[in-house]
Amino acid sequence: MRAIIVPVPGDADVLELAEVPDPVPSDREVLIRVAAAGLNGADLSQRRGYYAPPPGAPEWPGLEVSGEIAEVGSSVTEWQIGDLVCALLPGGGYAEYVTVDAGLVLPVPPGVDLVEAAGLPEVVATVWSNVFQLAELRRGEFLLVHGGSSGIGSMAIQLGSALGSQVLTTAGGAEKTAFCRALGADVAIDYKQQDFVEIVRDATDGHGVDVVLDIVGGDYIARDLEALATGGRIMSIANRGSAQSTIDVGKLMHKRAKLWGTTLRARPLDERVALIAAVREHVWPLIESGRVHPVIDSVFPLEDATQAHLRMESSTHLGKILLQVS
């Protein structure tokens, strides 16, 4: 089969379309004929040599796909050949076929295009796990989402708003802030022109935000703490540029705050399966009703993976970027 491989770490132009062995599902796995794969920041980090796939995962990138089940393992009873699905992967999505544990598979929601469904599993699982399971965001609380125009950001805004929170977000420029407001953000802050700490204080009447979803890292963490309410929670899920963070531990203690650093890809399989079950229970009904939807910026052919990565690195995209497999 064809897949996009990374022969050596480097810039986007190192990505290469190549022939790789066809995957074979184990007893508890399904084989998916891939319709599309979603791009994620982790893919860019892997390409640069900073984020190796976990043991047993394919060496090529891709953390989420949509497609049709082509084969099921001998112990799989919940899925059948021909089912239209999307799935959370430990890797290997940039390919014509992929195998994955049956517990990491979700049905394509009614009303969602098969290709666009590839933009759901990773972002929904990331947001649900961090914002709602770990940080326990509650109705009426304030949520601050950094990078609101990104794939993760666009989903966090929608879910926060749909479940009754006041959502503030940062984004770069008038087009992106307008985009975030259209998705349901109550306050959209142009980080190029405004100090998000000051805007948060004004917008919350000095209360601060209860939960921060941070995909930036670096010096943002200390500023998150400044913007945080007493008893607030900061979820740090990415660190762009690998910049170090320095915080005032005394202030963290004074605010009785929590700072979590999390990843999703390397969690034990049983944790990821439980998360996907929770997503199906709590988030899939919102998607099926139309209250939440995948936000797609652009779709590139699989063989144009380099251009797709360049698009993501430009930070001009609004929502998810997908690779479509012909």
Q: Tell me the per-residue pLDDT of 97-114, one tens digit each, with 9 for 90 and over.
A: 999 999 999 999 999 999
**Domain spanning 124-261: CATH 1.10.730.10:** no
What are 221's two structure tokens?
Answer: 């963490």
Delimit the CATH 3.40.50.720 region(s) of the chain: 124-261
Amino acid present at 145: V
Beta bridge partners of 190: 171
Residues 227, 146 contacting (CB under 8 angstroms): no
Which residues lie closer than 8 Å to 250 by C-beta, 6 or more apart? none
Beta bridge partners of 145: 169, 213
Amino acid present at 292: V
pLDDT at 244: 78
Sequence-ordered alpha helix ranges (H) in 184-231? 196-203, 220-227
For the stretch 248-254, contacts whose Cβ atoms lie closer than 8 Å and that sit 24 or more positions apart, written own/partner, are 248/222, 251/225, 251/226, 252/225
Distance in angstroms (rounded) separating the CA atoms of residues 319 and 176: 10
pLDDT at 293: 96
The pLDDT tens digits of the residues spanning 293-316 come to 999 999 999 999 999 999 999 999
Task: Give the pLDDT band (50/70/90) at residue 239.
Answer: confident
**Domain spanning 2-120+265-324: CATH 3.30.565.10:** no
Q: Does the structure show a pLDDT above 80 at 240?
A: no
Delimit the CATH 3.90.180.10 region(s) of the chain: 2-120+265-324
The pLDDT tens digits of the residues spanning 117-153 come to 999 999 999 999 999 999 999 999 999 999 999 999 9
Q: Does the structure show a pLDDT above 80 at 82?
A: yes
